[in-house]
Chain A
Amino acid sequence: MSDIVEKTLTALPGLFLQNQAGGGPAAAKAPFSSRLGGLVRSITALTSKHEEEKLIQQELSSLKATVSAPTTTLKMMKECMVRLMYCEMLGYDASFGYIHAIKLAQQGNLLEKRVGYLAVSLFLHESHELLLLLVNTVVKDLQSTNLIEVCMALTIVSQIFPREMIPAVLPLIEDKLQHSKEIIRRKAVLALYKFHLIAPNQVQHIHVKFRKALCDRDVGVMAASLHIYFRMIKENSSGYKDLTGSFVTILKQVVGGKLPVDFNYHSVPAPWLQIQLLRILGLLGKDDQRTSELMYDVLDESLRRAELNHNVTYAILFECVHTVYSIYPKSELLEKAAKCIGKFVLSPKINLKYLGLKALTYVIQQDPTLALQHQMTIIECLDHPDPIIKRETLELLYRITNTQNVTVIVQKMLDYLHQSKEEYIIVNLVGKIAELAEKYAPDNAWFIQTMNAVFSVGGDVIHPDIPNNFLRLLAEGFDDEAEDQQLRLYAVQSYLTLLDVENVFYPQRFLQVMSWVLGEYSYLLDKEMTEEVITKLYRLLMSDSISSETKAWLIAAVTKLTPQAHSSNIVEKLIQEFTVSLDTCMRQHAFELKHLHENMELMKSLLPVDKSCEDMMVDASLSFLDGFVAEGLSQGAAPYKPHHQRQEEKLSQEKGLNFEPYGLSFSSSGFTGRQSPAGISLGSDVSGNSADTGLKETSSLKLEGIKKLWGKEGYLPKKENKTGDETEAPVPQETTIMENVDQAVTKKDQSQVLTQTKEEKEKQLLASSLFVGLGSESSVNLITEQPECCLSITEAENTKIFQYSVQMEKPFMQGNLCGFVNYQTVDTLSAQLEFSVNLSLLDFIRPLKISTEDFGKLWLTFANDVKQNVKMSDSQAALPSTLETLEQKLRLHVVDIIGNEGLLACQLLPSTPCLVHCRVYADILALWFRSSCSTLPDYLLYQCQKVIEGS
C-alpha cells in the first residue's frame, strides 16, 4: 500500500510546479504547502506505533522551529496550524503552537483567521489561560462588517467561552439578534443558548428577545430559539404555558407542509423541527389537562401523517408517542400511540426495536397491559445477540417487577451481569438487583443468595450504599423479630459455607459485609460454633489477598466475638501476631483487643450482644476528663486552644498583605463595628439645649494614644468643653441605648447635674478589630463624672426632656446609675431631686439578627471562647423550647436550629457581638460562647445558667 501512496504523492510537487507560473510571489512557499501531504504520506508508510511517534516528534520539533521563527509569514503559519491540528488529533502535544493559533486569529486575513479560530477551538478549552488573549479579537470581529468574520466569532464564542468572559461579548451578541442576515441571527441565538446553559443569570434580561427570535420570519432562527425554550421549559414549565398556542401553531404549519420545500428531508417537512416541537409540547402538557387539550389535534395529525416509511418519520413518531404518554392522557391518542409502539417493537429493524423497547419502558408504568401484549417480543429480545437490546429489555423488566416475577427477572439480570465486563453496566445493574431484592424478596434464602451474588459479581465497584443498606436492613429488621433472627441466622450460615470453599476469592466489600454479619450475629449459632467462626476469621486475616481496610473489619468482628468464646487460644495467637504488625492501624486494633481481653467484664459491657441498633450515649464534651484537665492546668500546662484559634494566631503573626477591603469588615456582618469595652460611659444627647451641643467632641483613647481627628463625617474639630477636660465622642443614635431621664421641671430655670460614671471612650470601629482583647486589660473602675446641663426656664405645666445615653464599655453584672437634679421654683426655693437606676448586663444585651452564614464567618473571627455543660432541670425540654426561653429571657436571637444543635447571637450595645452554640445530649445542654470581648462570654454564661437551671 505504502508504495502506491508514495508514488502518487511524489507527483504532488510536480503538480505544484505547474501552478506556480501564475502564482507570483507566493510561489516560493509552494513546497511548504505540500508538507501536510508529506506528513500524511510518511505516516501512512509506517507500520508501528513507535515509528509514528518518532516521526511526529520530528515533525513537531521542525514545526516548533518554524512557528517561532520571525521570518515565518502568516501564510506559512496557516499551513503549520493545519499540521499541528493533525498532530493533536493523533494525540500528540502541540501546546507550543497554541499562542501562534491565537496570533493567527488576531492578525491574519480572513482565511488565515479562519484557520486560527479553528485551531484555537480545537486546541483550547474554556478554562485555558491563553483564552484571555482572544477576547479582544473576538470583540473586534463581532463588530466587523464582514459576515464571515462575525460568524467565526460567534462560533468560537459558543464553543469555548467560559462564563467569566460572557459579559465582554454579551451586548454585541444581543445586538446580533437584530442582524439583517438570518445566519447571523441563528448563530447569535445559539450562542446565547450556550450562555444560558453555562450562566443562566447573565442572560435573564434577554428573555424577551428570545420571544422575538421565536417569532422570527426565518425558520432557522425560530428553530434555533427552540433549543432555548426546550431548556427553559424543562427547568420550569409553568412559566411558559402561554406559549403552548404558538408552539402548536408552528407544529401545525410544519406538519401541514406550509414550510418551503427546501426544508423537506426525504419529503418529510423539517423533521428535526418537528421533533423539537413535540418534545416541548410533551413538557408543557405534563400533568396539565388544559394545556394538553390544546395539543390533542396536532398530535393526532402528526401520528396520522407520519405513515410514510422513512427512518426520520419514525423519529417523529417516536417523539409523538413519547409526548402522548407524557401529557394529560386522552384515550383515543393513547390507543393510536400504543399501536405505534407495536410497530416499533415488532419491527425487524433493530434500531426501531430498540426504540420500541425504550418507548415501552417509558409507558409501562401507565399501561402495564402493553407489556402483556408484547410479552413474547420482550422475551425474544432477552436473548437478542445485541447486548444493547438486552440491556434495554432488562430496563423494561426492571420497571414491571413485582413480588411474583422478581425471581425470574433477577435471574435474567444476573445472567446478563455474568457476561458483562463494562464497569458502569455492572454498577448500574447491581444497584437495580439489590433494590429489587430488598423490595420484593419472596423469602430469606433467596434474598441472602441474591445479595451474595450481587456482592460477588459487583465486586469492589459496587456502590457503597448497597452494602450499607443491606447491613442496615439486617440490623434493623422488619416487624417480626423471629423472622429477623432467621434471616440473620441464614446469612451467618451462608457466609460460613462460602468461607469453607477453598481457593475462592471474594471481593473486599463482600468480605467486609461477611465480617460484620459474623461479628454481630454468630451468637445465633450454637455456643460451640463461636470458636470456629473466630478461626475462620483468623484464617482470612492471615491471607495475603485481604486489604488492610478489610482486616480492620475482620479484627473488629473477632473483637466482638471474643467475649462469647469459651477458649481464647486463637485470639491470643492473633494478638501475638498483630501486636507486632507493621501496619500501625492493625497494631492499634490488636492492642485494644489485648487490653480488653484482659478485662472480660469491661469487654462484655462494651460489646453487648445484638445491640448494634441501640444508640450509645456519648459525652462529646469529654466532661469526664475535666479533672485531668484541671490537674494539668494546675501544674502549669497551657490551656487548650482550638485548632482555628491556633491558626488565627499563626496567621496574625505572619504579616501578610491584606487583600480584604477595609470597609467590609463591619458592613458585611450587620453591625457597625466592634468596640473594645472599657467601663461604662455616657454619651449625651441634649434636646432643648443648644448651648451644650458642643459637648460632642473628639477624644483620644488613652490606650493607643491616638488622636481621633477623623470621624464618619470627616474631620472632627476639637472643641473645648464648657465643663472642662472631659471628652466624649458622638454615639450613633441607633446603636445607643437611650436612658431617658425625663424630668418635669416645675417652674424655674436651673436644672442640674447628673452624676455619671465616665471613662474615656471612642468609637474606634476599625482599630477595635486590631486590638481586640487589649482594651479590657486597661479595665478601669467606674469613675464618676459630672456632666452638667442647664435647662432653660420652663413654663408651667410644660415638659422638658433631658437625655443621656449610658453605654457599657466593659461588661459587668450589676451597676448603679444615680444622679440628682437641682431646680428652683418661682419662689426661688432650691430643691434637689435624687434618683438612681440599677442596671444589669441584660439591660444592654440585644438580639443580633444575622444569618447562619454570617454566624459561621463571625464564629471563626472570635478568639474568646467559653464552654460549659449545663444540666437542664426539665429533662423533657426540647432544644427549641430551651432556645425560646433564652430568647425571651436574655434577648438572644435564635439564628438557626440544626438537629440537636442551636445557634444564638446577641450583642452588647453598642456593638460587641457574642455568639452561642448549643448542643443537647439527653438532659445536658452544652453551651459554647464566643465573642470579641474576653469577659462577655463568662457573664452571659452565668445568665444562661441562671435561666436554664431556674426554669
Chain B
Amino acid sequence: MIQAILVFNNHGKPRLVRFYQRFPEEIQQQIVRETFHLVLKRDDNICNFLEGGSLIGGSDYKLIYRHYATLYFVFCVDSSESELGILDLIQVFVETLDKCFENVCELDLIFHMDKVHYILQEVVMGGMVLETNMNEIVAQIEAQNRLEKAEGGLSAAPARAVSAVKNINLPEIPRNINIGDLNIKVPNLSQFV
C-alpha cells in the first residue's frame, strides 16, 4: 500500500499532497515538512530509500523518492511494495505528466493542481497501484480531456494562458523538471553489470 504521495520543490513548498491514509491536518503538514528535511539532507548520489520518520509509522514504512531538477517526488509505502518497483513508478508518473503537459515544469503542477491529481488517480487509486502502463494512463487522461473540450472554449483558456506564460523566460523559477533525465531514465543503472 502507498500511504502518501508528496511532491514539493527544493524549498519545501508543497506542490502535490495526497494521503491515502488518514492523518489529521496538522500531522499531514508535519509529515510534509519532516519528509522534506529528511530528503533535503541527502546527496543525489546516495540511495533513494529512506525509512519513514516516526510520524509515518516507523521502520515498516519507507520513503522512496526521486529528485527532478526543482522537484522532489516522494512516495511513502509500506513493506508490501517493491522499492525498485516504486522507484520506477515515480518515473512512470513523471513521464506521464511530461506527456500530458508537454514538457512539464513546476508551474504546471501549480496551475493545474487538479489535473495533476486526475493523472495521479489513473496511476494510483486509493493507495493501490492501478496502472503502470503509460500509454494506458495517457489514453484515460485524453478521454477526459476530450470531454473538457466538448464543454466549451472558455475552460481551455487558462491552460493556454499558462502555456503562454511558460514560454516566457522565467530565469528564477526553474522551468523544466529536467526532462533530460526523464528521457534517459536512470542512465547510471544501465551501465552496470
Contact = CB atoms under 8 A, between A and B. Distances in A.
A23 B84 contact: no
A40 B165 CA distance: 13
A187 B45 CA distance: 38
Contacts of A16: 157-158, 161
A894 interface: no
A279 B81 CA distance: 10
B125 A159 contact: yes
Contacts of B140: 183
A9 B165 contact: yes
A90 B33 CA distance: 11
B114 to A, nearest CB: 5
A388 B52 CA distance: 11
B14 A220 contact: no
A771 interface: no
Nearest to A384: B46
Interface residues of B, number: 82
A10 to B, nearest CB: 10
A309 B189 contact: yes
B176 interface: no
B154 A8 contact: no
Contacts of B125: 154-155, 158-159, 187, 190
Interface stretch (A314-322, A649-657, A811-819): A314-322
A501 interface: no
Contacts of B29: 91
Interface stretch (A56-64, A114-122, A874-882): A114-122
B45 A350 contact: yes
B176 to A, nearest CB: 16
Contacts of B162: 37
A592 B160 CA distance: 82
Contact of A118 (B82, B114, B155, B193): B114
B117 interface: yes
Contacts of B133: 220, 262-263, 265
Contact of B191 (A194, A309, A354): A309
Interface in B133-165: 133, 135-136, 140, 143-144, 147-148, 151-155, 157-158, 160-162, 164-165
A314 B157 contact: no
B17 A347 contact: no
A779 B47 CA distance: 85
Contact of A37 (B42, B85, B111, B185): B111
A126 B130 CA distance: 21
A744 to B, nearest CB: 78
A11 B147 contact: no
B47 A351 contact: yes
Given A15-B161, A23-B154, A265-B132, A114 B191 contact: no
Interface stretch (A26-34, A795-803, A822-830): A26-34
B98 interface: no
Contacts of B69: none
Contacts of A391: 51
Interface in A845-872: none
B87 interface: yes
Contacts of A191: 126
Interface stretch (A199-207, A421-429, A604-612, A734-742): A421-429
Nearest to A146: B147
B164 A352 contact: no
A778 B107 CA distance: 88
Contacts of A327: none
B97 to A, nearest CB: 16
Nearest to B18: A122
A428 B58 contact: yes
Contacts of B160: 15, 19
Interface stretch (A81-89, A250-258, A576-584, A928-936): A81-89
A455 to B, nearest CB: 21
B73 to A, nearest CB: 15
Given A12-B165, A90-B14, A159-B20, A354 B121 contact: no
A396 to B, nearest CB: 14
B92 to A, nearest CB: 8
Interface string A33-44: 110110010001
A190 B130 contact: yes
B18 A319 contact: no
Interface string B1-35: 10000000000001011101010011011001000
B81 to A, nearest CB: 9
Contacts of B172: 1, 4
A127 interface: yes
A126 B157 contact: no
Interface in A45-97: 82, 85-86, 88-91, 93
Contact of A126 (B22, B53, B113): B22
Nearest to B84: A315
A263 B161 CA distance: 35
A220 B131 contact: yes
A936 B127 CA distance: 60
A311 B87 contact: yes
Interface centre among A89, A93, A154 (most CB of B within 10 A): A89
Given A263-B133, A353-B47, A85 B114 contact: yes
A126 B151 CA distance: 32
Interface in A112-146: 114-115, 118, 122, 125-127
Contacts of B155: 111
A210 interface: no
Nearest to B139: A183
A355 interface: yes
Given A90-B14, A275-B82, A22 B153 contact: yes
A271 interface: yes
A125 B22 contact: yes
A15 B164 CA distance: 9
Nearest to B52: A424
A194 B128 contact: yes
User: Nearest 6 CB-CB pairs, A to B?
Assistant: A315-B84, A158-B126, A1-B172, A386-B46, A350-B47, A91-B29
29 contacts: A5-B173, A8-B165, A8-B170, A15-B164, A29-B154, A30-B154, A40-B110, A40-B111, A44-B173, A91-B28, A91-B29, A118-B118, A122-B117, A147-B143, A190-B130, A194-B127, A220-B133, A220-B136, A262-B135, A272-B85, A272-B89, A309-B193, A310-B185, A311-B189, A315-B82, A315-B85, A315-B88, A350-B47, A424-B54
Given A4-B170, A91-B32, A265-B133, 20 more contacts: A4-B172, A11-B165, A15-B157, A16-B157, A19-B153, A23-B154, A37-B162, A111-B151, A147-B143, A155-B121, A190-B128, A193-B128, A220-B133, A263-B133, A315-B85, A349-B189, A351-B47, A386-B46, A389-B47, A422-B53
